Amino acid sequence: MAVQTEILSRLKPRIDRLSRPPGLAVVLAGHDPASEIYVRSKIKACAELGIFSAKITPPETATTEELVALVEELNRRADIDGILVQMPLPRHVDARRVLETVAADKDADGFHPLNVGYLVAGRPAPRSCTPAGIIQMLKHYQIPIAGRHAVVLGRSDIVGKPMALMLLHENATVTICHSRTANLPDMCRQAEILIAAIGRPAFVTADYIQPGATVVDVGINRVTDPAVAELLGRSEEFARKGKAVVGDVHPLDMARLAGAYTPVPGGVGPLTIAMLMSNTVELAERHQGAE
């Protein structure tokens, strides 16, 4: 993806100017297959850029206290600039407590309450990677944001809420919709920029899309029913793999109606990793400037 390549190429000279390589620690507890794939992609991106990465894999039985102690140790390490705790954590773990143990100045994901507060206030801080990548993508393809009506479908702390705030900072008029929104198709159809992050496969159909709108599909959903895969135009992929990956937007409706749209897979995912690299480099610059 051109925008991902551009973001990463801009990071290389910044890394070269540092006195030591930026360091990213990734904590992966348990054996969630999707998480393992994501972490491999992140470690690979680090290696290609010259970022030092430490992959820490505590057992699935690790307690909240053990994970908190692990994160506190990473907070103290001078060679680690960014810490990422891969979600989901095992069910018995207090995920919020573990995430909030990450020092705000090592928060590569932009999830710490202090950094969320800085986002609200429009102050510099690590930003949640997926929404930050979407803003970069819209700018790269010269899609106007200021004055446009943007609808964010989904209100998660990871995508929906920070996405709405970032669009607001770019002077869009923003509506946040969710599962309890009345007249949901009508609300979404008003969007000139529609961000779908609701976590339901092909939930957004033609009724939700204004012709010519820009549609950004954040969803990653696995379809295991061949009849559903065929309806979504993914029968060839299903025949090859025994499953198909679709987003939150019906791919055929999106391709037919949208003026511009992101494919799934291969659209927003690579951007998220690029922005994680960007956050890590920015944190390293701050740490080394303060040394």
Whether residue 86 lies in the annotated active site:
yes
Are 101 and 72 in contact by the 8 Å Cβ rule? The answer is yes
Selecting among 4, 81, 106, 109, the annotated active-site residue is 109
Selecting among 42, 106, 107, 161, the annotated active-site residue is 42
Bridge partners of residue 176, in order along the sequence: 152
Whether residue 109 lies in the annotated active site:
yes
Are 42 and 70 in contact by the 8 Å Cβ rule? The answer is no
Q: How far is CA 152 from CA 44, 174, 252, in A?
A: 31, 7, 20
Selecting among 4, 81, 86, 136, the annotated active-site residue is 86
Are 238 and 229 in contact by the 8 Å Cβ rule? The answer is yes
Catalytic positions, written as ranges: 42, 86, 109
